[in-house]
């Protein structure tokens, strides 16, 4: 599926959406959405994101915030180096490509970038994936069947086979629906890169570490190394 795009540039504000949508700036304002009854809640464990409804479509709104050492200084501001290099623009276009490849990831709906001088702020709206829980949430409830672990490994391998590097593959960025379908979310800073065993293994190791980190934080997960080996088996046999 190829998405037709509509870009609007006006007075330092840039928006991007599907060509058949009339974009509304209220979509990016949680307080206004709440007043209109279109704010359905805040996503737990998925960063700064809200569940919203626009045009009778369930969506997720995410505002980009800085992380690391500069977060206290810059908060949600990023250095402007050109529109096509902004976080929202790059993620929107990557997600559109994932849709073309029929990979299990969110479909992009709209993006907004607001430039002020040397800096910009940004937001991204994607379609919500219904009736899902994160891998971390699923593991906090009960052990998962081995077949589901293998399916997670298989899904990650599908992305790697298309040369897609996920910048933050962790237990909260993998969704599982009630039918056992697997999805990857949060493609901020993700990109296409030449396939190589080194970065592919590092991607898997990051997920492995995140599972242990959650376990060691005091939040009990039904996870052990046997489960992980099932994931690796699914990855290798994809």
Which residues are tagged catalytic?
168
Neighbours of 140 (CB within 10 A): 16
Alpha-carbon torsion (193, 183, 71, 203), positive or negative: negative
Asked if residue 155 lies in contact with residue 105, where contact means CB atoms within 8 angstroms, the answer is no
SS3 170: coil
Q: What's the token pair of residue 104?
A: 């299990």
Beta strands, E only, 85-192: 108-116, 119-127, 132-134, 164-165, 174-177, 182-184, 191-192
Do 191 and 165 contact (CB within 8 A), yes or no? yes
CB atoms within 10 A of CB 226: 9
Cα dihedral 197→198→201→202 (10° resolution): -160
Is-contact 171 123, C-beta < 8 A? no
């Amino acid at each position: 599926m190829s998405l037709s795009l509509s870009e609007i540039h006006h007075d330092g504000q840039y928006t991007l959406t599907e060509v058949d949508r009339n974009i509304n700036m209220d979509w990016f304002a949680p307080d206004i959405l709440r007043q209109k009854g279109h704010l359905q809640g805040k996503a737990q464990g998925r960063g700064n994101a809200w569940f919203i409804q626009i045009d009778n479509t369930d969506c997720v709104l995410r505002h980009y915030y800085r992380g690391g050492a500069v977060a206290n200084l810059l908060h949600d501001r990023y250095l402007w180096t050109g529109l096509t290099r902004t976080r929202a623009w790059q993620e929107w276009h990557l997600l559109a490509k994932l849709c073309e490849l029929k990979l299990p990831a969110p479909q992009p709906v709209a993006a907004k970038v607001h430039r002020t001088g040397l800096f910009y702020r940004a937001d991204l709206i994607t379609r919500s994936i219904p009736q899902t829980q994160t891998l971390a949430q699923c593991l906090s409830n009960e052990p998962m069947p081995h077949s589901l672990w293998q399916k997670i490994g298989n899904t990650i391998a599908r992305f790697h086979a298309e040369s897609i590097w996920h910048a933050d593959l962790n237990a909260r960025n993998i969704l599982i629906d009630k039918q056992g379908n697997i999805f990857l979310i949060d493609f901020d800073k993700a990109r296409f890169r030449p396939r190589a065993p080194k970065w592919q293994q590092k991607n898997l190791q990051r997920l492995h570490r995140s599972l242990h980190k959650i376990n060691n934080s005091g939040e009990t997960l039904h996870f052990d190394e046997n489960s992980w080996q099932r994931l690796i088996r699914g990855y290798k046999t994809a």
